[in-house]
């Protein structure tokens, strides 16, 4: 996932997002710099769906409507020929969610900068500081989407959770939050939200896909594809399960706290598909744990001692 050589049709976008309990401001960091030269800002919260009928829980960074996404593309000066390169200031954290959004609406000329801004700086590349550049405008063709088979609703998740594990139609749900939150041992970072998990889902923390940051490498980045497949295969329950999902053309569903780090797993699966020519179909539970746990009727499974 390298950053492409700059051309007139290449546009870097800062897609940084920080956890709700973080003191950092993604917008302030972008405006002050450092940032990749000519980069514009793509805010997944700003472009999110806000209508009550489509976002009844008033959640952040939900997939927008096609019209809302089209307006955002035009505001950023993006057209069909623009190759968008997404990055964040962690390395790999929020940029995969932005990529998922672009692809869900059919803009396929899009990449993630593996290692993000910290890697860009570490490797000696030029950066900008201070005032950001002017934003152009464009006319973008009609946008279709989001692709229905890429998204799961609350109702679909509840229905799936009620199926016995022996049901051949059940979709395996991978929860990418830290294991202690999945088990109900540690609290959620969002106030008054209980921890635990959707019945029948499996824990696979998103950090397992990544090479962690260190003193010598101040960024996270994806592991090699062979390791990504091993992580995902083990997370699903082994090679037999992986092969069964692929052969039956079933989907795996990625979830997390709010639909952000779930996309790290989604992109890992796409990298496997790109490398090997096949991988399970996949979808995101867009609301993820926040939307599920906010509903009073939701059944919450816990394997720990934490009580909200």
Query: End-to-end alpha-carbon separation of the chain, Å?
Result: 41
Residue 287 to residue 274: CA distance in whole angstroms? 27
For residue 57, the tally of other CB atoms under 10 A from its CB is 13
Q: Is 256 a catalytic site residue?
A: yes
Total residue count of the chain as it appears in this document: 308
Write the Ramachandran bin of 64: left for phi over 0, alpha for psi from -120 to 50, otherwise beta.
beta
- Which of 103, 307, 303 shows the shortest CA–CA distance to 188? 307
Contact between 3 and 11 (Cβ < 8 Å)? no
* Annotated catalytic residue, options 256, 268, 279, 283: 256
> Rounded to an integer, what is the distance from CA 289 to the centroid of its chain?
14
In the block, which residue shows the tokens 């540690």? Answer: 186
- Tell me which residues are annotated as active site: 256
């Amino acid at each position: 996932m390298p950053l492409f050589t700059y051309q007139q049709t290449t546009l870097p976008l800062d897609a940084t997002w920080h956890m709700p309990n973080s003191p950092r401001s993604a917008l302030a960091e972008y405006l002050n710099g450092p940032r990749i030269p000519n980069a514009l800002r793509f805010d997944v919260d700003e472009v999110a769906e806000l209508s009550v009928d489509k976002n009844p829980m008033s959640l952040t960074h939900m997939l927008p409507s096609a019209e809302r996404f089209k307006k955002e593309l035009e505001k950023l000066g993006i057209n069909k020929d623009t190759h968008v390169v997404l990055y964040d200031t962690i390395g790999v954290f929020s940029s995969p969610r932005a990529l998922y959004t672009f692809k869900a609406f059919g803009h396929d000329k899009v990449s993630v900068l593996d290692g993000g801004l910290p890697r860009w700086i570490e490797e000696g590349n030029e950066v900008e500081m201070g005032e950001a550049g002017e934003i152009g405008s464009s006319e973008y063709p009609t946008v279709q989407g989001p692709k229905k088979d890429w998204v799961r609703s609350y109702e679909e998740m509840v229905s799936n959770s009620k199926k016995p594990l022996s049901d051949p139609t059940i979709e395996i749900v991978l929860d990418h939050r830290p294991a202690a939150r999945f088990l109900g041992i540690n609290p959620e970072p969002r106030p008054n939200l209980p921890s635990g998990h959707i019945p029948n889902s499996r824990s696979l923390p998103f950090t397992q896909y990544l090479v962690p940051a260190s003193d010598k490498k101040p960024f996270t980045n994806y592991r090699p594809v062979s390791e990504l497949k091993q992580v995902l295969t083990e997370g699903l329950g082994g090679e037999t399960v992986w092969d069964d999902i692929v052969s039956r053309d079933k989907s795996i569903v990625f979830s997390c706290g709010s639909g952000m780090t779930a996309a790290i797993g989604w992109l890992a699966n796409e990298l496997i598909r790109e490398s090997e020519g096949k991988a399970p179909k996949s979808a995101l539970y867009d609301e993820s744990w926040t939307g599920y746990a906010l509903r009073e009727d939701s059944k919450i499974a816990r394997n720990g001692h934490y009580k909200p």
